[in-house]
């Protein structure tokens, strides 16, 4: 029997990617309010029932009506509700209208009563409201009887060619311990770690994707795959390369990008080429022999955080952003270039998802599966 999963705030399926590609799991349903994201999700997961609507309108009744699902039938809920609106903590977050999205996540957990849930969010969640917000969130989960574990994970430690730290909370009703995945990769700049592989670099991730002119696109690869990462990305790839295209930039901006050294910033070029505004990490070139910095929805915008191609005078292409997030070349995105980049930038890297899935699977298949009868202290392991 397969473990049943419900995917909330699903995006294009980054957080649930590992579960979707393991035959021991079945994603029954997903919820996503944005139509382009929901469409992309359905293109990649046609067997999953997509509820493209506001999460406040999604509930156990939908699953009961469509699948006959009852309380306790879902094994796992995954999702990362946006927390940008949370600026203060006064009364309990569940009563705070600014916590509406989190309230809905909490509500669905209370309705479905999954054995395990996985909650993902930005690193900044740990410091919001002086650290009191995360404690409030944990207390709410514990009020439902879940034992909650929390850890800050870096996607690069699991084979992602990107430094991307995310807070991962796991809640369980089972009485056996949950263990976070052990790293498979290490940062070579801090010294070798026996038994682990060095971080995957940006060059290793995108080196077989073709050269692009300003505002250009190409449908062909520049070479055969040169390493295991590229081979993995190109498994079952379509005949024509998808989404390897960039927007067109002005002549002055192109000259600035041409002058940037590897990993360089505007401070490394002639003063007349420097932009007159922008933060320190804007208009910056990435490193070829290091992982990418965190990819954002603005991966194709030079004036955003560091996203200039390491060797070419242009920002990252949509497909390069997908590669950096670990989405294979047969993975579909939908809508305008901006909408596709949003789908990529908002996603959880697939390699991190697979590592989390492995830990959840180990937890579920452990012999001791008795339901916890009381709330237990939170297991804190941030660093």
Question: Which amino acids are annotated catalytic?
Answer: 83
Tokens 């699903």 -> residue? 10
Q: Which residues pair with 76 in a beta bridge?
A: 5, 116
Residues 6 or more apart in contact with residue 378 via CB below 8 angstroms: 138, 142, 147, 148, 149, 150
- Residue 117 near residue 77, CB atoms below 8 Å: yes
β-bridge pairing 76-79 and 116-122: parallel
Reference 35, options 19, 16, 54, 49; nearest CA is 54
Query: Helices 337-345 and 35-44 meet at what angle, rounded to 10?
Result: 70
Instruction: Measure CA 146 to chain center.
Output: 24
> Residues 307, 247: contact at Cβ < 8 Å?
no
Q: State how far the Cα of 103 lies from the Cα of 114, in Å rounded to an integer.
A: 17
333: tokens are 């995105």
């Amino acid at each position: 029997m397969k473990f049943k999963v419900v995917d909330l705030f699903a995006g294009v399926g980054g957080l649930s990617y590992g579960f979707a590609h393991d035959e021991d799991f079945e994603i029954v349903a997903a919820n996503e309010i944005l139509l382009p994201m929901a469409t992309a999700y359905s293109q990649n997961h046609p067997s999953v029932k997509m509820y493209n609507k506001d999460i406040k309108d999604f509930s156990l009744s939908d699953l009961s009506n469509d699948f006959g699902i009852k309380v306790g039938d879902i094994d796992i809920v995954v999702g990362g509700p946006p927390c940008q609106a949370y600026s203060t903590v006064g009364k309990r977050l569940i009563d705070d209208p600014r916590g509406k999205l989190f309230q809905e996540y909490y509500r669905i957990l209370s309705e479905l009563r999954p054995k395990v849930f996985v909650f993902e969010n930005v690193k900044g969640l740990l410091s919001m409201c002086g650290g009191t917000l995360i404690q409030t969130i944990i207390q709410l989960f514990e009020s439902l009887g879940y034992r909650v574990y929390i850890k800050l994970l870096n996607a690069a430690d699991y084979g992602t060619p990107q430094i991307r730290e995310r807070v991962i909370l796991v809640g369980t009703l089972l009485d056996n311990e949950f263990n976070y995945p052990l790293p498979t990769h290490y940062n070579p700049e801090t010294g070798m770690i026996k038994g682990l592989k060095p971080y995957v670099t940006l060059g290793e991730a995108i080196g077989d994707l073709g050269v692009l002119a300003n505002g250009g696109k190409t449908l062909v690869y520049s070479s055969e795959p040169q390493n295991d990462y590229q081979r993995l990305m190109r498994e079952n790839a379509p005949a024509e390369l998808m989404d390897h295209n960039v927007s067109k930039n002005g002549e002055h901006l192109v000259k600035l990008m041409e002058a940037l050294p590897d990993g360089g910033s505007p401070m490394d070029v002639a003063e007349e080429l420097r932009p007159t505004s922008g933060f320190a990490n804007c208009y910056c070139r990435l490193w070829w022999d290091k992982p990418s910095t965190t990819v954002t929805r603005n991966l194709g915008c030079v004036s955003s955080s560091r996203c200039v191609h390491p060797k070419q005078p242009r920002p990252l292409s949509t497909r390069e952003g997908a590669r950096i997030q670990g989405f294979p070349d047969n993975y579909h995105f939908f809508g305008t270039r901006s909408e596709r980049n949003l789908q990529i930038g908002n996603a959880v890297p697939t390699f991190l998802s697979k590592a989390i899935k492995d830990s959840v699977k180990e937890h579920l298949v452990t012999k001791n599966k008795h339901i916890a009868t009381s709330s237990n202290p939170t297991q804190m392991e941030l660093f």
